[in-house]
């Protein structure tokens, strides 16, 4: 029995989410929990041939799924939301185990998945088109939106499941299959979501095979380069986006990019400086226990006359955080002491999405 959280049997948790721990123990990709550094799975990477076959299946699924009425497609997403509600605690625990988030953040991320599914179900009955006046007598023009095709979704480690759902729930109701390449740090949560989706498909009854497929490892290159994938939605570092976007554009594909950066908070002369300083400090405090390994989008810009005063307050806030974060410091020290896989330090320096 492998136990990585107090009182938790990892194999039992995976089994609850329809994952076989034994089948996830002999691959080339090591998955470690950032909580203890322990290896919790070894998953086989997707080969180039497997990625090509997955894209072909997605193309075939698209030909069938695009003909399903949008409200009926919404029914599949509704069933997926039901499965997420049923397994919210288990999937949230897996997010905590694999991504290192605190328990409430793991549960909150699954709730975001449920919320976007509910939104997408409503959207499935609102895929409206315009009726446009024509200069020709007795004529009118109508606008109809058509499904696009297989959608590639590339996600970062700091939101391992929510970002996928934001893309996929909408893609499914719009008639598009999804090819998901999760972060190599968090593939277990992706496989668990795929398993829950299979449950929803079984209840749905007549969905084509290949609506959702997970590609592990370096398979994201196939999604970027293959013209059979008309849209690639990617979340990650700015460097990744700069490298990816020209390749997709060269084949006249479309990119949807959410890259590293800060959400600006502009401090004006009338602002409450104590509150302005405290807000980013709270973001840092939430990251202190490494739920996102510090990857939160929080920035602040102050006018020249305010910088000195806000700077002093910021320094006091930082000192208070350091004093209060004894447990976090101990955990970080333990993390530095244990061996890291090759390339881990470089990945920690990369900036992920909000």
For the stretch 188-246, pLDDT in tens is: 999 999 999 999 999 999 999 999 999 999 999 999 999 999 999 999 989 999 999 99
Res 295: pLDDT:
52
What average pLDDT score do residues 104-122 get? 97
Do 245 and 257 form a contact (C-beta atoms < 8 A)? yes
Q: What is the mean pLDDT of the chain?
A: 83
Domain ranges within the chain, ordered by starting residue: 42-126+145-259, 266-340
Instruction: Tell how far CA 136 is from the center of its chain.
Output: 48
What average pLDDT score do residues 264-275 get? 76
Range of weakest confidence among 14-18, 311-315, 332-336: 332-336
Distance CA 95, CA 161 (A): 8
pLDDT for 335 beyond 90 = no
What average pLDDT score do residues 311-333 get? 46
Name the band, by pLDDT with cuts 50, 70 and 90, for residue 279.
low
**Catalytic option among 98, 105, 109, 258:** 258
Do 20 and 14 form a contact (C-beta atoms < 8 A)? yes
Do 94 and 117 form a contact (C-beta atoms < 8 A)? no
Q: Is 135 a catalytic residue?
A: no
Instruction: Give the DSSP letter string of 129-161.
Output: --EEE-SSTT-EEE--------EEEE--SSSTT
Strands (E) in 105-219, as ranges, are: 131-133, 140-142, 151-154, 178-181, 212-214
Q: Is 332 a catalytic residue?
A: no
Name the band, by pLDDT with cuts 50, 70 and 90, for residue 348.
very low
Res 328: pLDDT:
44
**Helix (H, G, I), strand (E, B), or coil: what is residue 170?**
helix
Percent share of the chain, pLDDT over 90: 66
**Residues paired with residue 301 on neighbouring β-strands, in sequence order:** 266
3-state secondary structure 43-96: ECCCCHHHHHHHHHHHHHHHHHHCCCCHHHHHHHHHHHHHHHHHCHHHHHHHHH
pLDDT tens digits for range 2-33: 444 555 688 999 999 999 988 899 999 999 99
pLDDT tens digits for range 133-179: 999 999 999 999 999 999 999 999 999 999 999 999 999 999 999 99
Do 17 and 87 form a contact (C-beta atoms < 8 A)? yes
Res 267: pLDDT:
74
Of 315 and 219, the structure prediction assigns the larger pLDDT to: 219
- Rounded-to-5 percentages of helix, strand, coil across the chain: 50, 15, 35
CA distances from 215 to 94, 122, 220, 301, 326 (A): 19, 29, 8, 40, 39
**Catalytic option among 50, 60, 89, 297:** 297
Could you say which of 3.40.50.10860, 3.40.605.10, 3.90.550.10, 1.10.150.120 is the CATH number of the domain covering 42-126+145-259? 3.40.605.10
pTM for this entry: 0.78
**Of 230, 212, 219, 187, nearest in space to 50 by CA:** 219
What average pLDDT score do residues 115-124 get? 97
Res 7: pLDDT:
54
């Amino acid at each position: 029995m492998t136990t990585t959280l107090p009182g938790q049997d990892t194999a039992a948790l995976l089994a609850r989410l329809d994952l076989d721990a034994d089948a996830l123990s002999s691959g080339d990709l090591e998955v470690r929990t950032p909580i203890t550094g322990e290896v919790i799975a070894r998953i086989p990477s997707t080969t180039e041939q497997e990625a090509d076959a997955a894209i072909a299946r997605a193309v075939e699924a698209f030909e069938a799924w695009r003909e399903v009425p949008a409200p009926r497609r919404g029914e599949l997403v509704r069933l997926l939301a039901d499965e997420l509600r049923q397994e919210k605690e288990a999937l949230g625990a897996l997010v905590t185990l694999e991504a290192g988030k605190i328990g409430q953040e793991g549960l909150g991320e699954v709730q975001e998945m449920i919320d976007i599914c509910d939104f997408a179900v409503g959207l499935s009955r609102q895929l409206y088109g315009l009726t446009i006046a024509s200069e020709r007598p007795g004529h009118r023009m109508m606008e109809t939106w058509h499904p696009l095709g297989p959608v590639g979704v590339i996600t970062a480690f700091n939101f391992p499941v929510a970002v996928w759902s934001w893309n996929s729930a909408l893609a499914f109701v719009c008639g598009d299959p999804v090819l998901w390449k999760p972060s190599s740090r968090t593939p277990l949560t992706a496989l668990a979501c795929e398993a829950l989706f299979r449950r929803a498909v079984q209840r749905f009854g007549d969905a084509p095979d290949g609506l959702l497929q997970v590609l592990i490892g370096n398979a994201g290159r196939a999604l970027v380069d293959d013209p059979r994938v008309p849209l690639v939605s990617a979340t990650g570092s700015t460097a990744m986006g700069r490298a990816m976007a020209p390749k997709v554009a060269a084949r006249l594909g479309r990119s949807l990019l959410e890259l590293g950066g800060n959400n600006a908070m502009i401090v004006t002369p009338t602002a409450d400086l104590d509150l302005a300083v405290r807000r980013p400090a709270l973001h840092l405090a939430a990251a202190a226990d490494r739920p996102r390994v510090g990857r939160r989008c929080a920035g602040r810009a102050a006018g020249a006359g305010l910088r000195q005063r806000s700077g002093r307050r910021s320094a006091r806030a930082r000192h208070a955080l350091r004093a209060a974060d004894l447990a976090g410091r101990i955990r970080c020290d333990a993390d530095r002491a244990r061996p890291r896989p090759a390339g881990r330090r470089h990945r920690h320096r990369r900036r992920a999405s909000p």
